[in-house]
A and B are shown apart, each in its own frame.
Chain A
Amino acid sequence: MTAVEKFEWQQICERQDLVPGSGVCALVEGEQVALFYLPEEERAVYALANRDPIGNANVMSRGIIGDLGGKLVVASPLYKQHFELASGNCVEDESVCLEVYKVRLDGDHVLIGRG
């Protein structure tokens, strides 16, 4: 078998499951993924790991969305550190970050990329 990069999009939920301006959590093959929906932005959905690496609890989907210096961020509801939606990097602490998942909308379907 040749080594072809295998990459597939998996349907997770519907657009109506998302909450505009805020986050929800989905279970993707046993992993908790926080989905953020910003219908007014150029890119409308972001997906990050739901586990807060500083507070060590599965809560990131319940953080407040905002922007810091022009970058979209979510604030941990536990200790308020900010994580960039695009990169998962923590603004306050370089040594931690959230895993970033590929995600897109296909009509009303929300798809997560697995590869």
Chain B
Amino acid sequence: MEQRKIVVVGNGMVGHHFVQTLVESGSGDAITILGEEPRPAYDRVHLSDVFAGRAPEELAMATRGTYQQWGVDAHFGDPVVTIERNAKVVVTELGRRFSYDKLVLATGSYPFVPPVPGSDHKRCLTYRTIDDLGAIKSRSKDSTVGVVVGGGLLGLECANALQNLGLQTHVVEFAPGLMGVQLDDGGSRMLRRKVEALGVQVHTGKNTRHIVPGDEHALRMDFADESSLETDLIVFSAGIRPRDNLARDAELVVGERGGIVIDYKCKTTDTDIFAIGECALFGGRIYGLVAPGYRMAEAVAAQLAGDDVQFQGADMSTKLKLLGVDVGSIGDAHGRTEGSMSFVFSDEREEYYKRLVTSADGKQLLGAVLVGDCTSYDTLLQYHLNGIELPADPQGLIVPASGEQPTLGVAALPATAMVCSCHNVTKGDILCAIDGGCCSAGEVKGVTRASSGCGGCSAMLKNLVDDELLARGVSVDKSICEHFPHTRQELYHLAQVGEVKSFDAMIADHGQGRGCDICKPAVGSIMASLWNEHVLDARHVPLQDTNDTFMANMQKDGTYSVVPRVAGGEITPDKLIVLGEVAKKYDLYTKITGGQRVDLFGARLDQLPDIWRLLVDAGFETGHAYGKALRTVKSCVGSSWCRYGVQDSVAMAIAVEGRYKGLRAPHKFKSAVSGCTRECAEAQSKDFGIIATENGWNLYVCGNGGMKPRHADLFATDLDDQTLIKYIDRFLMFYIRTADRLQRTSVWMDNLEGGIEYLREVVIEDSLGIAAELEAQMAHVVGTYACEWKETLQDPQKLKRFRQFVNSDEADSGVVFVREREQVRPARPDERLRLVAVTK
């Protein structure tokens, strides 16, 4: 029998989910995806994360490779323009024709731009796709003020994005309040108060009459009430409209205000055509959230696989963080149900607002509004979705209790309780996964997909899994991996006490099996911290991650980046010229790092020794950018030049970097030295930071930037040079001894019983009596330092590893570059195809 042909128009989150569900059902259909955007589906819910530093690629839900592996034919960047229902064919803009047996429309929605004169100005944008983000970002560069039109959920998300771009942000809303759909008046007022406190100016009840060129800024918005507002850019986020034009042209029935009409099977008025997600109109309603779209996708996939699954509407409860403010809305938030009762609690000092809507008898939870504090959201949602009878005094669920809070423990939930509404995962499904052998929230997530959608239920999932494991008498296993029943800290002590000097001895005495990519580098790092032997000594070679093996940082295409040490960020013009010459000779992409040094990218494995020979000859040393080791000690220019500096911060930074360079630790660590209290070197964001005072140095510890930034804590004040170094020696060695694998100093301290007080006792007062030992161990590491690259270049045996092929001098043909902004970068897959085709 010939394969049934399923064509899916649209590759957004819902379109992707449909394809994934259908593929997983094993229906064996020939599936074709036709997407308008140039890239496969991505997570639109978290779009604003891109402005907070997340890479756009991280939003991807699928790659072209994913679809290839599934055997799905996928085309992007070529939208469908016509449906020929009689011939059962769709036609794309490029004129390609695809015939179907069943057609699924998942065309989504577009942002509604009110028909205001002037709204077609090039500084008027929308917020919906990754390309929109790019447009907003580039427009923001010459802007200081930004306006979002629309005070709904998406509008506030977008305001967050503008704030992250550093714009003075305004929200203009037609309705009298923010988020009128999800919040009642009280909640809306509290949200406004909090949002304004965050620096976003809110203008409600504003009807924009027209947009004209401004005097001080590029644009001026004139409102119906005669007021006006000047801005440099405007983003419209005033709701969505279903993209139903394809269906309209094909004479399928659409709603009066748009939306492709579907029945409970998600079928349109043509029985071979389905519509799902935001383009579909079910029961007179467009469902503008991702979870209901997923339910529709699953209903259609199940029907195609032969099951009779219906879509029966979906819960529109939602919890999110808008501009850092927690907002939750459940069910009938406005209390519109006849006879319903409300319980309201508002605290203007702590700035939160909570409302419960219950049935007339007070036993069922119909709805809720939470602003400023969503801790009870999960509990309330469970009451609502599962019809659990409320306690006799339901207000106890929202009023801060002086004693015990009547929360609904995860254990009390029925098996039918919905935990992840994005992927329809119930408590029962999770228990099933644990029955099936899952022993952590991560494993359960992998099996059930729970919390892989919006992520809102991740805390609850972890709670539920931990609780269940505990109840089953499973102790939470802290072993580093299957080969060692020990933590990193225990391994460190075993190695030190037993003077173990190789991985083989370690695993023979204390472990089992042959090791893996978790325990080998961990033990390698411990060996280096304790005995400081060359990382490429034969017995240590198999333990190292590729970065340590080749003493460079592997990039996505298999080439490496090279970072020589530039202690304290101080560099002579001659050395800078050498870096330039080397980069030029090997055509390396060159970029200044955040740690005041220079990163050279795009070196092939076989080029590394030649590059380093030139660098070492010019007096450079390895920068350990590849290692779990000291990276940089950043400095400001200090008292030698600066009018305000009180100590020579550069000299101190160079001394500190010289002392701890090459020191291996459980994680990378960084430092900085500022010459005065103005703190230009940002020392308080480092694992240890030093700030000059009139009388010496203040030492800060356990800060970091990165994913979870943490300010360092002030550890000791007004230290002289010698005491400063003594304390740092002890602090670092104590960290190396006691931290977990890949645990940064900040997390280490947060988990240290007694916290910074305890750390002071150990380091300053020597309460454990180990200070001398810690110092001696540091002295050993400092005394045995040698530049790993210099040693490697002198050892032909070690250099042998830097061959691309053991039997050929050819270069890796898989490395293909293109030029961008006058430098190289790895070719993207499509560019690579083109380039390789041309050379062939």
Interface residues of A (CB under 8 A from B): 12-13, 17-22, 24-27, 32, 35, 51, 55-59, 62-70, 72-73, 75, 77-78, 80, 82, 95-96
Contact = CB atoms under 8 A, between A and B. Distances in A.
B799 to A, nearest CB: 13
A27 B65 CA distance: 26
A13 to B, nearest CB: 5
Contact of B520 (A24, A32, A66, A68): A66
A64 B521 contact: yes
Contacts of B543: 64
Contacts of B521: 64
B546 A63 contact: yes
Contacts of B805: 25-27, 32
B545 interface: yes
Nearest to B804: A25
Given A56-B829, A78-B554, A21 B541 contact: yes
- Best-buried of B516, B521, B807 by chain A (most CB within 10 Å): B807
Contacts of A77: 545-546, 554
Contacts, number: 100
B812 A24 contact: no
Nearest to B70: A95
A66 B514 CA distance: 6
A75 B550 CA distance: 16
B812 A58 contact: yes
B515 interface: yes
Given A19-B801, A21-B541, A75 B517 contact: yes
A76 to B, nearest CB: 9
B519 to A, nearest CB: 8
Interface residues of B, number: 39
27 contacts: A19-B541, A19-B801, A20-B541, A26-B807, A55-B558, A57-B557, A58-B812, A58-B814, A59-B558, A62-B546, A63-B517, A63-B546, A64-B517, A64-B520, A65-B542, A66-B516, A66-B517, A67-B514, A67-B515, A67-B516, A68-B516, A75-B517, A77-B546, A77-B554, A78-B554, A78-B556, A95-B70
Interface in B463-517: 482-483, 513-517
Nearest to B549: A62
A32 B801 CA distance: 16
B538 interface: yes
A68 B517 CA distance: 10
A72 B546 contact: no
Contacts of B70: 95
A57 B829 CA distance: 11
B69 interface: yes
B516 A64 contact: yes
B806 interface: yes
B69 A58 contact: no
Nearest to A77: B546
A20 B542 contact: yes
Contacts of A63: 517, 546
Contacts of A78: 554, 556, 558
Q: Which 5 A-B pairs have the closest CB atoms?
A: A21-B542, A66-B516, A57-B558, A75-B517, A77-B546
A26 B804 CA distance: 8
